Amino acid sequence: MTTSAVRVLLVDDQQLIRTALSMVIADLPDIDVVGEAADGAEAVALVAQLAPDVVVMDLRMPGMDGIEATRRITRGTGAQGTRTGTRILVLTTFDDDDHVYGALRAGASGFLVKDMALDDILAAIRIVASGDALIAPSVTRRLIQDFAANPQQQGQQRELTAITDREREVLTLVGRGLSNTEIAAELCISVATAKTYITRLLAKLDARDRVQLVIIAYEAGLVSVSATERR
């Protein structure tokens, strides 16, 4: 049984980066570059036309930036009037990018750092295309710590009324950066059961992926910086 190649749109105002990634991907049987864009507006138009599986999205671009483009893509529709299902993998310099939280709320499914190894970039594309989120526990803790330290990112505390007490426990552990295996051990349940809870939370909270669950957990006051530091 064969599987279709992951269809990727590269979005960056630096042609050198687009060209380098495109050349590497050209030799791979499981990933295809279906288009390139130099700014957010062009990216939005191409996604509607091409419906790629993954967009590798730069954040800082002239005109429409990556955050607005991400928001329009994740909430928009394709050429046939249906939701595209396209997932966004942000290309960023994580340590100093103040816009990363806006990208999360806009619907990004993960992050790439521009100086990371090409093999890691390709692996990240595959992970996001599979429906998962690229967010390791260490990154989760960093996100929450930085998020909490920046008052501009904080808003009114979110209320959670649609989830059960057990689901709230699971959401708290997701917010603390635990993997499914660690959640299962913490709650004395199977990994399969932990995955089921995650699936329910995604549906009930209308979250695209685990990245969004982390932000929801923080906004609901379920996690704190001190909790993540104990991990």
Reported as a single tens digit per residue, the pLDDT across 67-105 is 999 999 988 754 443 356 899 998 776 554 456 667 777
Positive or negative, the CA dihedral 174, 180, 185, 191 is positive
Q: For 177-213, how does the pLDDT look when each residue is reduced to its tens digit (9 = 90+)?
A: 787 888 999 999 998 899 899 999 988 998 877 777 8
Query: Which helix H or strand E contains 111, and what residues bound it?
Result: strand 110-113
The backbone torsions φ and ψ at residue 54, rounded to the nearest 5 degrees and listed phi first, read -135, 140
Rounded Cα gap, residues 212 and 2, in angstroms: 31
- What pLDDT band is residue 1 in, cutting at 50, 70 and 90? very low
- Residues 90, 111: contact at Cβ < 8 Å? yes
- Residue range 211-225: mean pLDDT, rounded: 78
pLDDT at 9: 96
